[in-house]
Amino acid sequence: MTEKSEKRAGVFHHAWEVINKDTSIPPEEKKGTLKLLQILIEVAEASPKSGESDGADKLHTKDIVTRHSLMALVKQQADELNTLRDLSLNLTSSLDLQTVLEAVVTEAMRLVKNARSAHIFLYSHGELSFGASLNSDGEKNNPIATPRKDGLTYFVANSGEKLIIEDMLNHPLYRNASKSWCGSIIGIPLKFNQSIVGVMNLSRSTIGGFTTAELRLLGLLADQAAVAISNASLHQMVAEQANTDILTGLPNRRALDDRLQEDIRHAKRMRTQFSVVMMDLDGFKSVNDTHGHAVGDEVLRAVFDCLSANVRPTDFLARYGGDELTLIIREAGADVAQNVTAKLIELINGFDYPFPPGSKKVKLGITAGIAVYPIHARNAGDLLRAADAALYQGKKHSRGAMVLAKGVTGPLYPITFKQKGGQ
């Protein structure tokens, strides 16, 4: 081996020993470092010329180590940029709020070693509400506990500051908490336009602080999450307004059409029936004629609120138009639908609206028409027409009662008129 080769080998081994002692380099990167050093030496091998002192070798070794550190930093920054790109893609791929929240906790678990669980809580008007969660076992949306007013999550939400607890068992905030709450945890505010929209908590099974790289990535995630959550919340609000009746707050005709399609798919998949009940508020015209439209609006709201409070959470009540309502009763045949409708008719018969003192009271009631899928129709439009035809019969012959649709309602066909002159 020549003197130059020996010197090169010595520099190589010296540099490797220095880097190998550097605990900041993860073990999985050590193999790559060996190859990196070889490349650096080959590039710089012309620097130490024959006959130079040992001091020159040491300077060359230091130069190699410095270059490694710089390249490691560049690699770290490249990894962070890739992570940021992935975060942006994952968090902006949907405007559905729940989908966004679940993407946030998934990314949070991926960014930190020994992560045990990640939680998102939404913050509005001084109150926190659960958004999404994920733990190391893959279990989704199962919150450990409700945030305490004097706990970490409310502290972060109210202060707008990040909070790191390196040892939960020995921290005042967790003095009265379960002993199973051990390890470390970080709470990060999710800020958008200087407003707190939520809090992201991430706990680990180990005690101690978080690395600078982890904090930087979690900060990037929090910034991206705040924007994504704000956009999704705005989208949800606009969608709800588009599907809500302004006067009564009930779902409107557009929402009804969407729900009908959903229930048809559900009934086909589960091989079940469901019923549609069209209801008309008897006496409402008299309210408007006697007391005016302002009082009429209040009566309508009160009656519809009363009905809405007395239907099952799985059922769907919407304003069809004017003083007409439509109720969808999931997984219900004719018998169940008739029983439910009878109770609602009885409820409104006993409803006593507080009209202004000294004014004429108006007796209110309900007439209803019922149609059952798939007995009376097999699509949304025909089902509504079947229920509406039954309601028409009820209003014509037996107000204050219910009528079940007859036979099968088929599609409407266009009417054609012959033009004069045979053309």
Could you give the CA distance from residue 11 to residue 3 in angstroms, rounded to a whole number? 12
Residue type, 53: S
Helices (H), 246-379: 253-270, 284-291, 293-308, 334-349
Residue 242: is it exposed, middle or buried by C-beta count within 10 angstroms (0-12/13-18/19+)?
exposed
pLDDT tens, position by position, 378-411? 999 999 999 999 999 999 998 999 999 987 765 6
Helix (H, G, I), strand (E, B) or coil at 196: strand
Hey, CA dihedral for 338, 341, 345, 351, is it positive or negative? positive
Residue 164 has pLDDT above 60, yes or no: yes
Residue predicted with more confidence, 388 or 174: 388
Residue predicted with more confidence, 66 or 218: 218
Give counts: helices (H), strands (E), the chain.
11, 10
CA atoms within 13 A on the CB side of 358: 0
Residue type, 381: G
Residue predicted with more confidence, 94 or 413: 94
The domain 97-241 is placed in CATH, from the list 3.40.50.2300, 3.30.450.40, 3.40.50.720, 3.40.50.300, at: 3.30.450.40
* pLDDT > 70 in the chain, percent: 76
- Please state the CATH superfamily assignment of the domain spanning residues 253-404 in this structure: Reverse transcriptase/Diguanylate cyclase domain (3.30.70.270)
pLDDT, residue 214, reads 87
Question: Per-residue confidence at 46, pLDDT binned at 50, 70, 90?
Answer: very low
pLDDT, residue 177, reads 76
Helix axes 97-111, 54-92, angle to 10 degrees: 160
pLDDT, residue 71, reads 58
pLDDT, residue 48, reads 46
Could you give the CA distance from residue 364 to residue 8 in angstroms, rounded to a whole number? 100
pLDDT, residue 252, reads 94
Distances (CA, A) of 215 to 2, 7, 211, 379: 49, 42, 6, 54
CB-CB contact of 207 with 184 (8 Å):
yes
Residue 168: is it exposed, middle or buried by C-beta count within 10 angstroms (0-12/13-18/19+)?
buried
The average confidence (pLDDT) of the chain is 83
CB-CB contact of 152 with 179 (8 Å):
no
pLDDT, residue 241, reads 79
Residue predicted with more confidence, 238 or 59: 238
Helix (H) or strand (E) holding 241: helix 212-242
Strand pairing class (274-282; 365-373): antiparallel
Residue 298 has pLDDT above 90, yes or no: yes
Per-position b or e across 339-367, b if 16+ CB within 10 A of its CB: ebbeebbeebeebeeebeeeeeebebbbb
